[in-house]
Amino acid sequence: MSIDDMNGWRKTHYTRDVTPELDGQEVILGGWVRNYRDLGGLKFITLQDKYGERQITLKKGVVSDEVFEKGKVGYQYCLMIKGKVKKFEKAPGGIEIIPTEIKILNKTPDKLPIDMTGETISELDLRLNNRALDLRSLRNQAIFEIRGQVLMSIRNFLLKQDFTEITTPKIIGSATEGGTELFPIMYFDKEAFLIQSAQLYKEQLGGVYERVFEISPAFRAEKSHTKRHLCEIFTLDVEMSFADMNDVQKTLEELVHNVIEDVRENRMPALKVLNMEDKTIVPKLPFPRYKYDEIIELVDKKFGITIEWGEDISTEAYRKLGEELTGYYYITHWPMEIKPFYILPSNNPKYSESFDLQMGWLELVSGGTRVHNKQQLINAIEAKGLNSASFESHISVFGFGMPPHAGFGLGIARWITFICGLDDIREAVMYPRTPDRLTP
């Protein structure tokens, strides 16, 4: 069997646009074979495209012998099909297509590396090795449709509220936040680094455009082998001037509320594919707010897990907390010693004007009020053991009328993991980067 050319053929419709109202009309569809059945004198092909699938029915005697022969296809063959739309209650979507011509544009081996029929889910690493194929699955179509909606809804929400979308550099000359988790790169004959967050640039631009956001990659050189850490992340960064952390928390919870509302309104079929229609529900506002001190007390009393004051909350403690607090909630006023220099200390300087937004056991957001006084910023940098001279260009901006400001960073893949009910964050990214995965 040879391979056909498209020649003059172009798709007239996507599968979702072929509705029972088109009964009797000729259409040209293009896509891939999700499934096929050969019952001797009768063959069925399930043709999928980016929006869904339709049944192609080949009955001996009804279609030409040539078309009937062409109907010998394999999983994920790339086809174009010209045919007549026929209303048929029993077919998926109430329609079948009776083909008059089939073009086989590309073939596949007899055995694909992963199951594409939807009957079983292949092991995740195997799927990631064959990601472009894997992404055609119904499950992945649903996940990334929801991701697209989330990104669109975030933009719609923020743009309506006077935020300006910014873009900031991802290559930097020195270790800006003082973290050790930077990827070094060669920048011609000098060493440079991939950025770990948009923090400093978004603060600077908040002093220009007042309310700013950026949706962009950041890079974390952490050798974490968990189901919630990636080396290349994609974050929503927000910064608001003439505001403190309370204002930011209010904006953030409204954003979460609106985005989930949009997902439910526009992506219910995708939520259903993932069995999340009853779980991903619009959260009530305002979200519960707990202080760090209250959380470590609760974790101690309820679960007998001791967290030394000033330490991060352990994964074990988060897991237990997540069983108790299943939705969205804030943990505020973290010890200053575990917060970065740009976070404003509270009146009692042991504490900080900071918050995390949690979803059950998982951290979605970190944020807080920032230091905006120049001398205080210099002191804070030095107090963390960093050299303020290497921050000179950033610090100078604070001498030009920097307003009080606050903001947050939200991990997009963490959110998709939660909304879609995924077990592993790698499922929420088209091509995940982890310590042991750099391809595809």
Minimum CB–partner distance for residue 363 and Mn ion (Å):
6
Q: Does 76 bind Mn ion (CB under 5 A)?
A: no
Task: Name the residues that contact ligand ATP, by CB under 6 A.
Answer: 220, 222, 229-230, 233, 235, 363-366, 409-411, 413-414, 425
- Angle at alpha carbon of residue 218, lines to 389 and 131, rounded to 5°: 160
Of 236, 208, 205, 234, the closest CA to residue 219 belongs to 234
Which one, 280 or 417, has the nearer CB to ligand ATP? 417
- Find the shortest distance in angstroms from Cβ 218 to ligand ATP: 8
Indicate which of Mn ion, ligand ATP, none lies near residue 414 (CB less than 5 to 8 Å, by partner kind).
ligand ATP
Q: Which residue is nearest to ligand ATP (CB)?
A: 411
Supply the DSSP string of 134-189, one letter for each residue: HTTSHHHHHHHHHHHHHHHHHHHHHHHTT-EE----SEESS-TT--S-PPEEEETT
> Closer to ligand ATP at the Cβ: 206 or 409?
409
Q: Which does 274 bind (CB under 5 to 8 A by kind): ligand ATP, Mn ion, none?
A: none
Size of the site for Mn ion (CB under 5 A): 1
Q: Which residue is nearest to Mn ion (CB)?
A: 366
Q: What is the DSSP secondary-structure string of 189-255?
A: TEEEEE-S-SHHHHHHHHHHHSEEEEEEEEE------SSS--SEEEEEEEEEES--HHHHHHHHHHH
Residue 160: closest CA among 283, 251, 241: 251
CB of 433 to ligand ATP, least distance (A): 10
Shortest spacing between CB 366 and ligand ATP, in angstroms: 3
Say if residues 213 and 158 touch (Cβ distance below 8 Å).
yes
Among 261, 175, 160, 174, residue whose Cα is nearest residue 213: 160
Q: What is the dihedral of CA 357, 217, 232, 388, to 10 degrees?
A: -80
Least distance between ligand ATP and beta carbon 434 (Å): 9
Which residue's CB is nearer to ligand ATP, number 52 or number 340? 340
Q: Is 366 an interacting residue with respect to Mn ion (CB under 5 A)?
A: yes
Kindly give, in sequence order, each residue whose CB lies less than 8 Å from that of residue 140, ignoring residues fewer than 6 positions away: 134
Q: Minimum CB separation from ligand ATP for residue 237, in Å? A: 9
CB nearer to ligand ATP: give 207 or 409: 409
With respect to Mn ion, which residue has the nearer C-beta, 46 or 366?
366
249 touches Mn ion (CB under 5 A): no
Amino acid at 344: L
Rounded Cα–Cα distance for residues 414 and 429 (Å): 10
Select 394 or 414, whichever has its Cβ closest to Mn ion. Answer: 414
103's contact among ligand ATP, Mn ion, none, with CB below 5 to 8 A by partner kind, is none
Least CB distance to ligand ATP at residue 338 (A): 10
The first and second tokens of residue 412, run together, are 């997009």
Site of interaction with Mn ion (CB under 5 A): 366
